Chains A and B, each alone.
Chain A
Amino acid sequence: MLADAHSIVTNADLLAELQRVIEEEDKADRQRAIQAKRYAKLRKEALVDWLFDLQSVARKDTINWAKGQIQK
């Protein structure tokens, strides 16, 4: 179960978004999206869209702070 405003991006939605990036975004994003689509399809990946309030977190601590929150 996800608390707060976090949400799940389903595999179908993820693939659709990656397809949109492949068709519409800039060259580097397109290329990264092709590879991401390959992995997402293969592993039937879905995502959790984490929404955190980072105002009180120093930029250099963001990754470690978020890691702690996600592992709770």
Chain B
Amino acid sequence: MAIAQEKRVGVGMDFYEVCGLRRSIRWFDTSKPVERDKIQRILEVVRVATTCPGNLQPWKAVVVEQAKIPKEKRDRLLYADNMQGAHVQAPVWIYWFGDIECARPEIFQARVGALIKAGALPTAYGWSEATMANMVRGDEPAEGLPGVHELLHDMPQETSGQVAYAETVGAAAVGCLAAVNERLGTCLHMVATPSKAQIVSEQLGAPATWIPVWVQLVGYPAEDREGGGQRPKLPFEDIYFEGNAATVFERDPRVVAELEEAGLLRAPAPTPGRFEELKGLAQRFGYPI
């Protein structure tokens, strides 16, 4: 059925429920491969939904299905992540990299130029390709435009790297929501112990300008989708303020109730039966408790 005729694709879920269920799943059903179209949908969501300054889009991803790679490659990639259990189990590994070359001033200029032509950055606010070129040269923009000239002019490679890394973290976060939306389990791991990061780049043939950011583990969960409950989160009042950093943003209990109903705010961890579940999982897969 053409997508135009069917608004809902596949198994998409309600947004609040996706966000409420987003948690690090660490036990995967090793017998069940992930369908390729689900992997593609995750990548497609990240591509269009992730925001980034100047629309830089510095992220790159290498998808690895561990059942399809040579054992030696699999073992090397796992060794780089210290053979962590979740990584051993997950059928799909999405390695997210930040491409330094995509966070250079000339790229910023090109991407912003495309946004201007797309009507996304309005000339009414002062945007034009000429003003963008001036900012890259270091000219201070007029009021109404961001002061990015200080960042872009003579931008060191190191700064490009920091930007590429930070923005790719955002992409991986969107990737996690996209995986939950596919009713898959997912979590983010360090790509490697830092001293072993080069192993991953070599095994995946990543160019030297690609900085490893996260590996997103994906698979059908072997544990309950609640993963034992919503993880401890800092109190709302400790992190949100209004007007200034001293005035707490007042939390409306009515909104809280709506979000509990919508599936965003869920039972906290550990939920009843969680440790029995963990014991069963450990026994099933042969891990100690």
* A complexed with B: no
